[in-house]
Structure formats: structure tokens, C-alpha cells
Amino acid sequence: MRSLNVLSLFVFIFFSSITLVSCSDDEEIVTPPVAKSKVLVTHASPDAPGVDLLVDNVVAGTNLVFPNSTGYLEVNSGTRNIKVNVTGTSTTALEANLNLAQDKNYSVFAVNNVATIEALVLEDNLTSPASGKAHIRFIHLSPDAPAVDITLTNGTVVFGDYIFKEASAFTPLDAGTYNLQVRLAGTSTVVLDLPGIALTAGKIYTVFAKGLVAGSGTQALGAQIIVNK
């Protein structure tokens, strides 16, 4: 009888150990979070129609029209297929495979005339500005415009000698309201006035030249402001 009791106790301890190990293993199984990146898409092709945005063939935005932006979209990191389709159709105007790093922010601009539309991809540094400062970036996205300077009205150059598809870094400026001008690079010839550009402390902005020198209406040469943060 004593042997039977000892055997029973051994069996109980053995199976209890298996149960405890199984529970411990279950508790250690943790699904890691999916790595994420953020992408902002801007329609900057002056003569292209409205478009839909697809990420890995899943619609992420519809009827984006010139010169508007989506705001930042959260997507899985890694290589993502981005398509820009004519709104409501399967006609792809632009396609690109983007390698997106974890926790990074990107801007994708659909640029140039529709016949030669292409993607301009920039990594966005959204580090917060110092106290009393704003960050601003300039991008030249007017296909038929020559090299330009962005200046104050007194001629002080803020961004100098930018050609089509060239972008500056995010640059700190004192918060305030600025009257800016677009001038032919290296000259005093003003081709576009940009009055009342309000920069708020702590904010991050992109200003891009849009449209066509030879354009009119919505396609006329102008500037567009994006609030990145």
C-alpha cells in the first residue's frame, strides 16, 4: 500500500510539473508589435487628374486633387508598393516601391506634367523646433520654372538657387509672419509674391512652388503650404 501511495504522489508531481511548464511557455509567447512608418502623399502634377492612392493594392485615399496632400498615413514598415491611380479607375499613373524604415516619416510627391509624371520621395525630419522657432522646407515643383531664390522683400535670401525637384532641409526660422518672394536665381526679378506666410512656434512646414509659369487658373504658378507637424 505504501508503494502505491508513493507511486501516486510521483505521478501527481510529474503531471503538475508539466502543467506548470506549459502555462509558463504560454505566458512567454508575446506577439511583437508590427513596425510602422508614416507617409504623406502630395498631388503636385499640375495637369494630372484627381487620383486614388493604393498601398500594396489597398486603397488608402481617394480623389486627391492638385495641389492637395493626404496628411501622414501610418503604414507597415519595409518595402511597400505605392500606386497612384486615376480616380475611380484601375489606370495607374504612377507606381513606386518604397523601402520604409521603422518609425521614419516620408513625403511622396507626384511631380512633373502628367505625360512624364514621377515620384519625388523625401525623408522628413520632424524633430521639434527650438523654443520660439518654426522649421520650414522649400521644394521647387514647378516643371517649367527656372532656378529660383526664395527671399524676404528686402532681398535677403532664405533659400537660394533651387531647381526643379530640388528640396531644402527643414530650416529653423523665428516664429512670425513673413512676406516672401520668389525671384529668378541670382537676380532681383520677382516672379511671385508670397505675402503673409505665418509660421507658428513649434510647427514644421513645407512650402512648395506649384503650377506652371505658362499656366492659368488652378495651374498658374503659385505656392502651397503643408503643415507637417
What is the predicted pLDDT for the residue at 26? 56
pTM equals 0.84
> For 216-228, what is each residue's pLDDT tens digit?
999 999 999 999 9
Closest CA to 193 of 142, 149, 153, 165: 153
pLDDT digits (tens, 9 = 90+) for 38-50: 999 999 999 999 9
Could you tell me the pLDDT band of residue 5, with boundaries at 50, 70 and 90? Answer: very low
Per-residue cell: 171: 530650416
List residues bridging with 226 in a β-sheet. 206
Cβ atoms 67, 210 nearer than 8 A = yes
Q: Which three cell numbers stand for residue 133?
A: 522657432
For residue 71, the surrounding DSSP H or E stretch is: strand 69-76
Residues paired with residue 42 on neighbouring β-strands, in sequence order: 69, 109
Nearest CA among 110, 105, 97 for reference residue 165: 110
In this prediction, residues 208-215 reach a mean pLDDT of 95
Burial of 181 (0-12, 13-18, 19+ CB in 10 A): buried
Q: Write the DSSP string, 77-137.
A: SEEEEEEEEETTSS-EEEEEEEEEPTT-EEEEEEES-GGG-EEEEEEE--PPPPTTEEEEE
All domains of the chain in start order, with CATH: 33-124 (2.60.40.2890), 129-229 (2.60.40)
When pLDDT is cut at 50, 70 and 90, the band that residue 29 belongs to is confident
158: cell is 532664405
Mean pLDDT of 179-208: 96
Encode burial over 65-84: b for 16+ CB neighbours within 10 A, e otherwise: ebbebeebbebebeebebbb
Higher pLDDT, 92 or 15: 92
56's enclosing H/E stretch is: none
Q: Distance between CA atoms of 35 and 78, rounded to whole angstroms?
A: 8
Grid coordinates belonging to 141: 515643383
